[in-house]
A and B are shown apart, each in its own frame.
Chain A
Amino acid sequence: MLLGQDGVTNGAIYALLALALVLVFAVTRVIFIPQGEFVAYGALTLAMIEAGRLPGTLWLLLGAGVLVVALDGLDALRRGGMARLLQVVAANILYPLALLLLMRTTSTDTWPLAAKVLLTLAVVVPLGPMIYRIAYQPVAEASVLILLIVSVAVHVAMVGLGLLFFGAEGSRTSSFSDASFTVGPMMVSGQSLWVIGTSLGLIIALALFFNRTIYGKALRATAINRAGARLMGISPALAGRLTFMLAALIGALSGVLVAPIATIYYDTGFLIGLKGFVAAIIGGLASYPIAALGAILVGVLEAFSSFWASAYKEVIVFTLIIPVLVWRSLTSHHVEEDE
């Protein structure tokens, strides 16, 4: 029972990441390996804010912002004149500077938790679109394989930066809720409920976003038919940035959610992301609900195999994935032409 709860809690995080991966792949064809790094960045940035230290991610934000301006500045000037350029500068350089000023002048460690979480998101989330602009946009038309390898390179660089910013040791943050309830024979911790609740909330919010808002619809259109979407005036670059923004948001939020229940290290992201990836693939990189179910499956499988034979946990989890894959592969459409 406890194992089930544990599995579902972890599964909920995997589910969020799986959703982000599905989304990113559908819109940009990028298999976003650095997704996990956003989890680590989110968790560790929050931990640093709690400790009253200036998170290194802020410097990264500033650096990336300068790069984006360097890449986009001239184009903006040519196409939209000074006003456009100022807009780009404001979004990419002035914004991080403002955050920097804010964190330098006020002592953030005394803020309420919610405010710290918001600040964390404010620092980490804009990194998503910036990374898209810097690393992916120039090769947006390349094959899936190339995009994947670019992802690996970005992942390598981000893990290195993580080590530099946060050090090798892990961190935990304070819980959202210390409460725990006893439901029948089970003890349910408040934080698990937070994780599961927030995941559900986010999934519903995403569903609403895709069905109700114009940006959401534009993204869906791009996912279904890239060329068609472009003809309809949806810029692939905009779609890409928007998607990465969402992915970064989901990643950072997952990080903030797990940080109180698990110690997060600079390199934790990869394995969490990998499991999200497993779930995403079970969903065929296309279906959100199946990906979410796959995530829960991975979480529960992991919890139980760690109980039965902990030394062989990864072997069991990943070996059991293969039959699922075969089954998914057989039930999906048959006549195929690999890309």
Chain B
Amino acid sequence: MKKHKTIMAAAFGLAFASGAAWADITVGVSVSATGPAASLGIPEKNTLTLMPKTIAGQKVNYIVLDDASDTTTAVKNIRKLISEDKVDVVIGSTITPNSLAMIDVAAESKTPMISMAASSKIVDPVDDKRRWVFKTPQNDQQMATAIVSHMVDAGVKTVGFIGFDDAYGEGWWQQFSAIAEARKLKIVANERYKRSDTSVTGQVLKLYAAKPDAVLIAGSGTPAALPQKTLKQRGYAGKVYQTHGVANNDFLRVCGADCEGTFLPAGPVLVADQLPADNPVRKTAQDYVSKYEAAFGKGSVSTFGAHAWDAGTLLVNAVPGALKSAQPGTPEFRAALRDSLEGLKEVAGAHGIFNMSPTDHLGLDQRSRVMVQIKGGSWQMVK
């Protein structure tokens, strides 16, 4: 009791000392830079260092906290950002459960929040609480539709599913199974595995025994390579689909030749250079890739970082409007920023074009995804 009072006093003083100066725009960020979602959170965290330091002449301060992929910490972080650091907007978190948990706090304090997690549940339906919440990544639903369409076009009739034993795999299963059913695709196997499993032989044998025309692997980052490698080992010859979660170069490194020919939907940023010259996303995506690779090395870019970048892009476009009506650091500014975010139209980000509306707080359309195939150890846009 006594001890924590003293520490508290110390911490208290510290918080004030490091607190932001008045009237600057303060952006609070909670990313999952450690824990199971670290492979998603780290590029996001890296991207934040590339964000503009001033918007419309106003200095912008970023306060970045790690939530260790844990909901409790995520909620603690957003409470701290809002009540201690008086942030004008919150970006985060990386994963769906954390983002869902943060919604209540954001809405309670009337602070706009831009999530970097995939599930459509975060912004849909836009109700009293979700008024305050926006997000940048494509919904799983959009990506799943792309996969199902591609499968149907390629003549696939039966499909096997294997996904992470967590919110990611679960979200995909819900979306994919619903859409597949609507399009008369038959799902013949449904398996789960853990991100950290060292073997998926059991699951793969079962998939293999069901003889699907195609297999969808719903995992993110390098752990998604394991089922595919095991499938190859067992001599599976059908099509393999991955999700956009694997879209980084580490995946190619680990999966190597075994992933040759794999299809996946992804944000256009993954194949920025292959986009047609008239695609409005091409320029913004290339811009992001070159900035990121200049800072963190060639080949280091991943699509997840680009979600953070898009959050920044949204702010860059929304802040000037909000500044007209209120001063940063005030509730009025936060409300104005929210309104301004909701009114954004035709904003080109690295992942697509955002058209927000009072009923759509994501604003991405078909232009936000492309089908990509792994060929010769690199990402190739399909047609």
Residues on A facing B (Cβ under 8 Å): 2-3, 6, 9-10, 13, 160, 163, 167-172, 189, 258, 261-265, 267-268, 270-272, 302-308, 310-311, 313-314
12 more A-B residue pairs beyond the given contacts A6-B201, A267-B36, A306-B197, with a C-beta to C-beta distance below 8 A: A3-B205, A10-B199, A168-B41, A168-B221, A172-B225, A261-B199, A262-B226, A265-B222, A303-B202, A310-B162, A311-B191, A314-B194
Q: Report the Cα distance A311→B248, complex, angstroms.
A: 27
Q: Are B205 and A2 in contact (CB under 8 A)?
A: yes
B42 within 8 Å of A by Cβ?
yes
For A313, the chain B residues whose CB sits under 8 A away are: 165, 192-194, 202
Q: Are A10 and B202 in contact (CB under 8 A)?
A: no
Q: A3-B205, A163-B34, A168-B221 are in contact. Are A310 and B198 (CB under 8 A)?
A: no
Q: Are B193 and A306 in contact (CB under 8 A)?
A: yes
- Pick from B38, B195, B201: contact of A3, CB below 8 A: B201
List which B212-265 residues lie within 8 A (CB) of chain A.
Answer: 221-223, 225-226, 233, 248, 250-251, 253-254
B184 within 8 Å of A by Cβ?
no
For A267, the chain B residues whose CB sits under 8 A away are: 36, 196
In chain A, what residue has the closest Cβ to B201?
Answer: A6
Q: Are A272 and B198 in contact (CB under 8 A)?
A: yes
Q: Report the Cα distance A308→B209, complex, angstroms.
A: 12
What per-residue 1/0 map shows which CB atoms of B174-206 lie under 8 Å from chain A?
000000000000000001111111111111011
For A258, the chain B residues whose CB sits under 8 A away are: 198
For B205, the chain A residues whose CB sits under 8 A away are: 2-3, 307
In chain B, what residue has the closest Cβ to A305?
Answer: B202
Q: Are A6 and B199 in contact (CB under 8 A)?
A: yes
Q: Are A262 and B222 in contact (CB under 8 A)?
A: no
List which B38-59 residues lie within 8 A (CB) of chain A.
Answer: 38-39, 41-42
Q: Are B202 and A6 in contact (CB under 8 A)?
A: yes
Interchain nearest-CB distance for B189 vs A (Å): 10
Query: In this complex, which of A167, A168, A314 has the most chain B Cβ atoms within 10 angstroms of its Cβ?
Result: A168
In chain B, what residue has the closest Cβ to A171?
Answer: B254
Q: Are B222 and A170 in contact (CB under 8 A)?
A: yes
Residues on B facing A (Cβ under 8 Å): 34, 36, 38-39, 41-42, 162, 165, 191-203, 205-206, 221-223, 225-226, 233, 248, 250-251, 253-254
Q: A3-B202, A168-B38, A304-B202 are in contact. Are A310 and B226 (CB under 8 A)?
A: no
Interchain nearest-CB distance for A43 vs B (Å): 10
Q: Are B199 and A262 in contact (CB under 8 A)?
A: yes
Interchain nearest-CB distance for A300 vs B (Å): 11
Q: A163-B34, A171-B254, A314-B194 are in contact. Are A306 and B222 (CB under 8 A)?
A: no
For B223, the chain A residues whose CB sits under 8 A away are: 170, 263, 265
Q: Are B203 and A168 in contact (CB under 8 A)?
A: no
- Pick from A168, A169, A310: contact of B193, CB below 8 A: A310
Q: Are B165 and A311 in contact (CB under 8 A)?
A: yes
Q: Report the Cα distance A267→B233, complex, angstroms.
A: 25
- Pick from A262, A307, A310: contact of B192, CB below 8 A: A310
Q: Report the Cα distance A29→B41, complex, angstroms.
A: 38
Listed by A's residue number, 11 A-B pairs whose Cβ atoms lie within 8 Å are A6-B199, A167-B39, A168-B39, A170-B222, A267-B196, A271-B194, A306-B199, A308-B202, A310-B162, A310-B202, A313-B192
Q: Report the Cα distance A268→B195, complex, angstroms.
A: 9
Q: Are A263 and B226 in contact (CB under 8 A)?
A: yes
In chain B, what residue has the closest Cβ to A5?
Answer: B201
Q: Are B254 and A169 in contact (CB under 8 A)?
A: yes
Q: Report the Cα distance A213→B302, complex, angstroms.
A: 53
For A302, the chain B residues whose CB sits under 8 A away are: 199
Q: Are A262 and B165 in contact (CB under 8 A)?
A: no
Q: Are A311 and B192 in contact (CB under 8 A)?
A: yes
Query: In this complex, which of B202, B203, B226 has the most chain A Cβ atoms within 10 angstroms of its Cβ?
Result: B202
